[in-house]
Amino acid sequence: MLDPNLASLIGIALAILVPIVSAAFAIIICGTSIAAVGTEKPELLSKLIITIVLGEALAIYGLLIAFMLLSKLPAITTMDAGNKALFSGAIIAVATVAAGAGISYVGSSLAGATAEKPETFSSNVIGVVLSEALAIYGLLIAFMIIGQI
Q: What is the pLDDT of residues 2-37, one digit of tens each?
A: 899 999 999 999 999 999 999 999 999 999 999 999
Q: Where are the domains of the chain?
A: 4-146
Architecture (CATH level 2) of domain 4-146: Up-down Bundle (1.20)
| CA–CA separation, 68 and 21 (whole Å) | 20
Query: Residue 41: pLDDT band by 50, 70, 90 thresholds?
Result: very high
Which of 120, 139, 2, 122 lies closest to 67 in space, CA to CA? Answer: 139
Q: pLDDT at residue 1 above 80?
A: no
pTM for this one? 0.90
Name every residue whose Cβ is closer than 8 Å to that of residue 11 and which is 6 or more positions away in sequence: 69, 85, 86, 87, 88, 89, 90
Name every residue whose Cβ is closer than 8 Å to that of residue 100 and which is 6 or more positions away in sequence: 21, 22, 23, 25, 26, 55, 58, 135
| CA–CA separation, 28 and 79 (whole Å) | 39
